[in-house]
Structure 1
Amino acid sequence: MTDDHDAAGAMSFIFEAGVLKRAARTGWWFAGVKHPESIAEHSFRTALIGMMLAAMEGADPARVSMLCVVHDTQETRITDIPHIAKRYLTAVPNTAVTADQVAACPRAVAEVITAAVAEYEAGETLEAVVARDADKLECLVQAVEYRHQGIDNVQRWIDSSRAALKTTSAHRLADAALSGQPLAWLTPPPLSE
């Protein structure tokens, strides 16, 4: 392959990933959210939470953040399928979708991305466990925010997300989210002199 062909293949995946900025997280529609967060917005905060959880749990923050960034990239092709719909659908594994997505990328790029998705999907390494917790914790945090905005029908997302958490740190952060106020940061303590 030529360098130009490699660059075009990589750029194709970059363009495809950009669709996630416009694609809504569909499950929130069931809760009554008219304009839910995008998949990219979810992935951004999942990566941030993952970095923090990794530091708290002794995992590699950079690796966890990477797993979080790519954990939903397949949704450009299969969309964000609500959990209720998954009962009725049969889909190929996310690893197969990812392999198709990065097939035209330079080999090194394709290997990095497919390995990260495979690690996340297997859920066996500490980094994958932490990344999965970050995904669930971000959903819980989003539900808390929607509840504070007046969307009452979010408890099932809070309950299912909390039940899926594995690490002690994720449970502690979930408790803090549930007892906290999403806009409390707007009133910081006075600056010390």
Structure 2
Amino acid sequence: MALVIEHKKILEFLELVGRLKHVKRTGWVLCDIDDCESIAGHMYRMGMMTFLLTEENNPTKLDRFRCLQIALVHDLAECIVGDITPHCGVTPEEKHRQEDEAMKTIAELTGIAGDRMYELYKEYENQTSPEAKFAKDLDRYDMIFQAFEYEKRENAPRKLQEFFTATEGKFNHPFIKDLVFELYRQREEFEKKSIIPNNC
């Protein structure tokens, strides 16, 4: 009987996780971006980026697997609370409270695995490890990379400038800084070739 209850909870957990495949990221919705990415899509690309760490670009020897795990759980609470942004009228304190409660609920469904996910989530939220700080860089980088993709798709240079402004000067890892530099270079080239900028 205990095993049946355990399996029932795991299916409930998987159903919650599945929601992330369909919930759109709030920032893009507020900017009227059609067919915008889901929360799961955002976390997936962050996860894939951890595979790009090599001996050459990872001088501080970050634990790639830990980076991957953090990337995959950092927004997990949003399957319950949704994607809360500064534009949603919720204070940062209340946002953190809601997300923490959601993560505790998720952790209760999966036992030891849930304890591990909660631990990684807190590590990310509190930025208490080099891996958590790297995941924060990935989070910000994926956001501006996605913004640039939408600007190109809509042929609307600088339409999503607010996302670049919000992350300017906040990147720390040298590998990600190099990618930011290249992204900015490509964005400048795109602007030169495109029509008059629109605003979000």
Q: 2:101 aligns with which of 96, 102, 119?
A: 96
SS at match of 2:104: helix
Q: Report the counterpart of residue 65 of structure 1 in structure 2.
A: 68
Specify the code of the residue in structure 1 equivalent to 2:103: T
Q: Report the counterpart of residue 113 of structure 1 in structure 2.
A: 117
Unmatched 5+ residue regions in structure 1? Answer: 182-193
Distance change (3 Å), C-alpha of 1:18 and 1:149: same
Q: Report the counterpart of residue 189 of structure 1 in structure 2.
A: none
Q: Report the counterpart of residue 9 of structure 2 in structure 1.
A: 9
The Cα RMSD (Å) is 2.1
Distance change (3 Å), C-alpha of 1:125 and 1:93: farther
Matches within 5 A, 1:134-153: 134-150=138-154, 151-152=156-157, 153=159
TM-score, normalisation: structure 1:
0.84
Q: Report the counterpart of residue 180 of structure 1 in structure 2.
A: 186
TM-score, normalisation: structure 2:
0.81
Deviation string for 1:102-121 (max 9, x for gaps)? 2122x211111111111111
Q: Report the counterpart of residue 35 of structure 2 in structure 1.
A: 35
How far apart in 1 are the matches of 2:166 and 2:54?
22
How far apart in 2 are the matches of 1:102 and 1:8?
14
Q: Report the counterpart of residue 175 of structure 2 in structure 1.
A: 169
> How many residues are aligned here?
180
Query: Is contact 2:81-2:99 (8 Å) kept?
Result: no
Quote the offset at 1:85 in angstroms.
2.1
SS at match of 2:20: helix
How far apart in 2 are the matches of 1:165 and 1:85?
25
User: How many percent identity over aligned positions?
Assistant: 21
Distance change (3 Å), C-alpha of 1:180 and 1:45: same
Specify the code of the residue in structure 1 equivalent to 2:145: V
State yes or no: 1:75 paired with 2:47.
no
Q: Report the counterpart of residue 85 of structure 1 in structure 2.
A: 88
How far apart in 1 are the matches of 2:100 and 2:50?
21
State yes or no: 1:156 paired with 2:162.
yes
Deviation string for 1:5-24 (max 9, x for gaps)? 22221221111010000000
Quote the offset at 1:2 in angstroms.
1.9
Distance change (3 Å), C-alpha of 1:116 and 1:88: closer
How far apart in 2 are the matches of 1:67 and 1:48?
12
SS at match of 2:37: coil
